[in-house]
Structure 1
Amino acid sequence: MTAATQDPPLQRTPLHALHLELGARMVPFAGYSMPVQYPAGLMAEHHHTRDAAGLFDVSHMGQLRLAGPDAAAAFETLVPVDVVDLPAGKQRYGLLLTDEGGIIDDLMFVNRGDDLFVIVNGACKVGDIAHIRERIGSRCQVVPLPDRGLLALQGPKAVHALRRLVPGVDKLVFMTGGAFAWDGGELFITRSGYTGEDGFEISVHESQAQALARALLAQPEVQPIGLGARNSLRLEAGLCLYGNDIDTGTTPVEAGLNWALQKVRRSGGARAGGFPGASRILGQLDGSVPVARKRVGLVALERVPVREHTELQDAGGRKVGEVTSGLLGPTLGKPIAMAYVEAAFASPGTRVNALVRGKPVPMEVSAMPFVPNRYYRG
């Protein structure tokens, strides 16, 4: 391989040195060197997050702000959700769409009163920011925040650990956020996450990220958690991984994300539609455009893990779908997966066979989440 064709060097988060100190096994992820697990291992990390509190470094994610009086209306032209009426302090899940209705990325955004604070996926952030600037950069300021780290503190005891350091954070409820101070610096904290558990995401200046992480790890409830357990936790929670379970070839309706499309954008009124791919997506919602495949949850009826890209077949051996995420669910103790299947096979209780090393493994379509969510709603 010549120098000209080598991959660019991996970027490092503000916590890189701390991960090495803690004995993390580092892997490339979204262009960054990231911890996949620590010495305790994936299973122990997964269970600790479910039982107590886990600290995740998610500083590879993209953080940006959209500012100006027209920011909310402008952003609403890019996503099929209600931005304009989102109250200050509230957070919402959104989807950036192609003109054909495919998903460019999924994201979270908060109305901070004087701006919109947006968090996008790490692997997509360069393209997302370019897309947002191209489409609405003339209507509002699009300001990337590359000097901010992002920590996620997740689990039923996360609130106990965090409020010792940041008094008042326990007043937040699920999908709300606010500005807080710690050690002379500014934090922006939302009560949200990617595990199905109660928890928080904490935006912190890169200069304070390591000190804050150390302060959190000093709390008796908290242990460091890597990407491996983050993946198993989010799959048990029925949450999509961009690039696996959703992508530009997938519409929100095919992905089962209808709940993310508020009524004001769906039907009637001046703000219905008006987002990229609206005619296709709204047609899929009202049945005028057929939906050929749907995202489903699957539980294996034998103890054989079923991984992504595994073919799914009907009883006669015809291909009817493909697994997009799959593993042995640590909480459930059984193999679980997400997949896209032909619409006729999407009803809970339907049986399909996963072809694992040439042998059929029976699986049953299951409702998601696989493990009940425990978000704190007040």
Structure 2
Amino acid sequence: MQSRSSSLARILRGVTPSHTANRYAVRALTTSLSHPTARRQQHLSISIRQLPTLATTTTVTQTRYASSSSSESRLQKTPLYSLHLAHGAKMVPFGGFHMPVQYASLSVAQSHLFTRSHASVFDVSHMVQRLFRGPGAAQFLQSITPSGVEALAEHRSTLSCLLKEDGSGGIVDDTIITRLGGAGGEIGEGFYVVTNAACQEKDDVYLDREVAKWNREMTGKGLGVREERLNGRGLVALQGPGAEGVLAGVLAEEAGLDLRKLLFGQSAYARLKLGVARVSRPVLISRGGYTGEDGFEISIPGDEAVAVTEALLAAGPGKVQLAGLGARDSLRLEAGMCLYGHDLDESTTPVEAGLSWIIPKERRTADAGFYGADVIAKQLVAKSKGGSGVARRRVGLIVEGAPAREGAEIVSRAEEGKEPVKLGAVTSGCPSPSLGKNIAMGYVKDGFHKAGTEVDVLVRGRPRKAVVAKMPFVPTKYWKGET
């Protein structure tokens, strides 16, 4: 019986590379998706949604246990599954779902560059959409994340992470938290939390346990909390410099939403035009994304996900096209974004990962009240100033010669008469279609993290010269208002 990794590698080898950069991008994605950590995370207990038609969803619940292989029939399908097939998508298993890696119209590298210059639509419906309600919701989230959730204004978002309950400061998953208002939308009031599909099984266990624990202690104090999983909703990311124009073209007049005033990290409910005489139910539009470009993530009622996506694509292939996991992976790496299970895991703290900025000033103390606060507070202060600092740091790398893949060792530069010292390892790497260079992300010993530091990366056992570089590798273009 073949393993998931070998099956996935075979699928990705079937993606036709039109040129060298695309071949490298596909190989990088093969490495990312077949890594043992990712494989373990994909052994999920899943609710399988089969789509006999675009309009009807039949839910069949099955339990799947860890194994070295699985039938594709056990993978879930997003509401856009049939649309992907209609557009010639190459589908691969990812996070327990059938997901598109690329489409017939563009190679991976071409899709990447099209996103940077125009706009692309990514299906991210595999992500888990959750809602936390109740008088204790903000305080609950502040107990399991380092973020200042109580201070979030309505329809404002923050990047955050779920922290291990053992106090180590390790990251269970990364997430986006948004405070929603109740007016104008179907989701309602509360905290909208999006987590990773590949982590769903462990996140469900973690959150169920933490909610139950919180309620045992706090319900009597009037601070109860409840979690709802927004199963079956669609989620698409519209990304690129042309994204605003594409979305503006389908906003219903009654929406009254001025996208120029919707800034990065903000959200709003709106209705979209689905043709000449049809308008969608309210969708949640959040400005942001995973590519470093301006763009939006749109949460859609599941039965309207296809119609909304087709409305966006109606702007024409010269303005917007579908894009898959291949382009998404290289775009996020250029933007310096982490992929959980690779660049982040339960042995990594926010400080080591370079995510200290998600912790507001008022929560940088040992008594801040979230898991691992004591450890994280000490790490925030350098040893020279009385803290513990960190032993390793996440860095970007520009690598000469062959691309450095996940797991490649990072060592000190070879010097005559001296053995190189191991400094760390690469966690993500690929050729950058935008820069024409090989880029990578990884962790190195503290002291070797400064931009310009020269190191070697062992690629297939051979040292390749690399230079520590600032991230993002490509400047971000988030819309923060007129300058």
> Shorter-chain TM-score: what band?
over 0.9
Residue deviations 1:65-93 (CA, integer Å, cap 9, x gap): 00112111111111001000110011111
Residue identity opposite 1:136 in structure 2:
V
Asked if 1:295 is matched to 2:394, the reply is: yes
Matches within 5 A, 1:225-264: 225-264=323-362
Partner of 1:127: 202
Residue deviations 1:329-360 (CA, integer Å, cap 9, x gap): 11011000001011121111111111112211
Of residues 153, 156, 176, the one that matches 2:266 is: 176
CA–CA distance in structure 1, aligned partners of residues 357 and 398 of structure 2: 23
Residue deviations 1:260-297 (CA, integer Å, cap 9, x gap): 111111149xxx52111111111111232241111000
CA–CA distance in structure 2, aligned partners of residues 172 and 309 of structure 1: 40
Residue deviations 1:173-214 (CA, integer Å, cap 9, x gap): 100001112324120110010000000000001101111111
Residue deviations 1:12-39 (CA, integer Å, cap 9, x gap): 1111111111111111111111001112
Partner of 1:50: 116
Asked if 1:214 is matched to 2:214, the reply is: no
CA–CA distance in structure 1, aligned partners of residues 300 and 377 of structure 2: 39
Residue identity opposite 1:334 in structure 2:
K
Asked if 1:154 is matched to 2:239, the reply is: yes
> Relative to structure 2, which stretch is displaced further, 280-289 or 330-339?
280-289
Residue identity opposite 1:133 in structure 2:
D
Partner of 1:197: 293
Residue 109 of structure 1, CA deviation: 1.2
Residue identity opposite 2:175 in structure 1:
L
CA–CA distance in structure 1, aligned partners of residues 403 and 297 of structure 2: 31
- Give the conservation status (yes or no) of the 8 Å contact 2:412–2:456: yes
Residue 169 of structure 1, CA deviation: 5.3
CA–CA distance in structure 1, aligned partners of residues 458 and 369 of structure 2: 42
CA–CA distance in structure 1, aligned partners of residues 204 and 305 of structure 2: 23
Partner of 1:7: 70
- Give the conservation status (yes or no) of the 8 Å contact 1:129–1:144: no
Residue deviations 1:99-130 (CA, integer Å, cap 9, x gap): 21100001001111331111111111232233
Of residues 413, 429, 433, the one that matches 1:326 is: 429
Partner of 1:340: 443
- Alpha-carbon RMSD across the aligned residues, in angstroms, is 1.7
CA–CA distance in structure 2, aligned partners of residues 323 and 79 of structure 1: 27
- Give the conservation status (yes or no) of the 8 Å contact 2:280–2:308: no
CA–CA distance in structure 2, aligned partners of residues 158 and 19 of structure 1: 20
Residue identity opposite 2:88 in structure 1:
G
Asked if 1:115 is matched to 2:190, the reply is: yes
Partner of 1:83: 149
Unpaired runs of at least 5, structure 2: 3-63, 182-188, 216-223, 273-278, 414-418
Secondary structure at the counterpart of residue 303 of structure 2: helix
Partner of 1:64: 130
- Give the conservation status (yes or no) of the 8 Å contact 1:238–1:369: yes
CA–CA distance in structure 1, aligned partners of residues 370 and 395 of structure 2: 26
Residue identity opposite 2:70 in structure 1:
D
CA–CA distance in structure 2, aligned partners of residues 65 and 126 of structure 1: 17
Asked if 1:285 is matched to 2:375, the reply is: no
CA–CA distance in structure 2, aligned partners of residues 334 and 164 of structure 1: 36
Residue identity opposite 1:120 in structure 2:
T
Secondary structure at the counterpart of residue 144 of structure 2: coil
- Between the aligned residues of both structures, percent identity stands at 45
**Looking at both structures, which has the greater relative contact order when contacts are Cα pairs under 8 Å and sequence separation is at least 6?**
1
State TM-score, norm by structure 1.
0.95
CA–CA distance in structure 1, aligned partners of residues 160 and 306 of structure 2: 29
Partner of 1:26: 91
Partner of 2:225: 140
Larger Rg: 2
CA–CA distance in structure 1, aligned partners of residues 91 and 322 of structure 2: 13
CA–CA distance in structure 1, aligned partners of residues 227 and 412 of structure 2: 48
Partner of 1:164: 249
Structure 1 pair 267/276, CA: closer, same or farther in 2 (3 Å)?
closer
CA–CA distance in structure 2, aligned partners of residues 250 and 154 of structure 1: 29
Structure 1 pair 123/169, CA: closer, same or farther in 2 (3 Å)?
farther
- Give the conservation status (yes or no) of the 8 Å contact 1:236–1:329: yes
Residue 368 of structure 1, CA deviation: 0.6
Residue deviations 1:216-245 (CA, integer Å, cap 9, x gap): 111131100000100100000001000110
Residue identity opposite 2:125 in structure 1:
S
Residue identity opposite 2:132 in structure 1:
L
- Give the conservation status (yes or no) of the 8 Å contact 1:162–1:169: no
Q: Give aligned pairs, total.
A: 374
- Give the conservation status (yes or no) of the 8 Å contact 1:90–1:175: yes
Residue 318 of structure 1, CA deviation: 2.3
